[in-house]
Amino acid sequence: KFVPKLLNFDRKQRCVDITRELLNAVNDDPDLLKRVITGDESWVY
């Protein structure tokens, strides 16, 4: 069964902040994403 995650404002804002930091890092080093592995987390039980 899939369990949806409810994010509060602070958690959503942290996601936005991290995304902005990553965009700034990519602007400084365009080859950065070639060295980054990403993923997503799902809660299933």
pLDDT attached to residue 3:
59
Q: Where are the domains of the chain?
A: 7-32
Residue showing tokens 């799902």:
42
pLDDT attached to residue 41:
67
pLDDT attached to residue 15:
83
Q: For the chain, percent helix, then strand, then coil, each to nearest 5?
A: 55, 5, 40
Backbone angles phi, psi at 44, to 5 degrees: -130, 140
pLDDT attached to residue 33:
83
pLDDT attached to residue 31:
92
On whether the CB atoms of residues 32 and 26 are closer than 8 A, the answer is yes
On whether the CB atoms of residues 2 and 41 are closer than 8 A, the answer is no
pLDDT digits (tens, 9 = 90+) for 1-45: 565 678 888 888 988 998 899 899 999 998 988 887 777 666 555
pLDDT attached to residue 25:
94
